[in-house]
Amino acid sequence: MKTNQPNQRHPMKTATSTLLFLLFMAPQTMAQTGELKACRTISDDAQRLACYDRIGLSEDTANSDQPEPQAAPTNNHFPALLADLNEPNLYLSYGRLDFLGDDFNAFLFGAGIRQSVKDFRWSDDHSLTFNVYGQIRSQFDVDELDTRNNRGGALINTDFTIGGELVQSLDTWNWRFSYSHRSTHLGDEFIIDNPNYLTDRLNLSYEVVRWTAHKPLGNWDIYGGLGFITRSEPGNLAKDMWQLGWQWQGALWHNLKPVWAVDLHSWGAYDSAININTRLGVEIQQWTQTPFQVLLEYQDGHSPYGQFYTEDLTFMGLTLLSNWR
């Protein structure tokens, strides 16, 4: 019968472990021994004591002084264009709309967002930021709410936009290069009440490449750009677009800041007409996490909405706007 014997450490294993430990500690011990000898040669008591205190701390101090590696901050920024109807933001407008041969009260609604995806950095001074964005814009006939409410509302049209862009900030100006898809859809109740659009309806959609430059000048921002349609339905749409605009922000006073913006836009499909959109009001920097604007708005030109790009449009009203950045 076997009995349990207490574990005994093998002498060879013990010797090997001890040798490895000594080999590991030897350089550190020799360094400290040299430091001790140097401290002993100091005749001044205070200096000799300070020398002893410094032994073993130099390595820890050197390691603690090394900063943690950090990613370089993204500094590419293209400001929100306050009067640009294509800007992905959140807005709600109420006012008088002169459109399709009628003059009526209307709600204009837009919801969009821009999201940074990747910052490409090849030096400390230059980088390129890739963003994605999307936007939905809808127009509602307020005067038809009572008659259409039991059939789903007074929606006239909705535009959907999705795209991506490259943005770069240079020393004195910024630029962005974007590619986007837009499709438009008439409201079902609008088609029911306007049966001529059953035959005249266009499933307007297109892809457009845009390049826009921006220049800050004190309280002013000036910008301009060109666009080119790469594909469209119908296929005979004019290809060229251009844009020009400016905006101004005054000094902040009691969390209020006056703002004014003008956007000029033209498309070959507008028969070379120039659309103008201007907004004037105040930015409020309290009550909400993101500043928002209360603006008087005026639009004039060809319709920027849906398949109605050949139709004249005028809008005047009040707009609440917030840029989600």
- Rounded to an integer, what distance in angstroms lies between the CA atom of residue 7 and that of residue 55? 41
Reduced to 3 states, what is the DSSP secondary structure of residue 64?
helix
Report pLDDT digits (tens) over 72-81: 455 678 999 9
Length of the chain: 325
Average of per-residue pLDDT values in the chain: 83
Q: Which two tokens stand for residue 103?
A: 């003059």
> Which ranges of the chain does DSSP label H, i.e. alpha helix?
11-40, 45-54, 58-64, 145-148, 188-193, 197-200
Q: Which tops the pLDDT comparison, 49 or 209?
A: 209
> Lowest mean pLDDT: which of 188-197, 218-227, 286-295?
188-197
Q: With bands split at pLDDT 50, 70 and 90, how would you rate the model's confidence at 3?
A: very low
* pLDDT tens figures, 162-197: 999 999 999 899 999 999 999 999 988 888 888 888
Range with lowest mean pLDDT among 31-40, 91-100, 127-136, 194-203: 31-40
The pLDDT of 76-100, averaged and rounded, is 94
pLDDT beyond 70 at 62: no
pLDDT (mean) for 155-167 = 96
Q: How confident is the model at residue 272, as a pLDDT?
A: 77
- Residue by residue, what is the 3-state secondary structure of 35-51? HHHHHHCCCCHHHHHHH
Provide DSSP, 196-220: THHHH----EEEEEEEEEEEEETTE
Asked whether the predicted pLDDT for residue 135 surpasses 50, the reply is: yes
- Average pLDDT on 227-242 reads 93
The confidence score (pLDDT) of residue 216 equals 96
- Reported for 167-170, long-range contacts at CB under 8 A and 24+ positions apart, including other chains, are 167/76, 167/77, 167/78, 167/128, 167/129, 167/130, 167/131, 168/76, 168/126, 168/127, 168/128, 168/129, 169/75, 169/76, 169/77, 169/78
**What are 248-272's pLDDT values in tens digits?**
999 999 999 999 999 999 998 888 7
- Mean pLDDT computed over 103-126: 90
Q: The whole model's pTM is what?
A: 0.74
Q: Which pLDDT belongs to residue 132?
A: 97
Question: Which residue shows structure tokens 């398949």?
Answer: 307
Residue 230 has pLDDT above 60, yes or no: yes
Mean pLDDT to the nearest integer, 9-35: 51
pLDDT at 1: 44
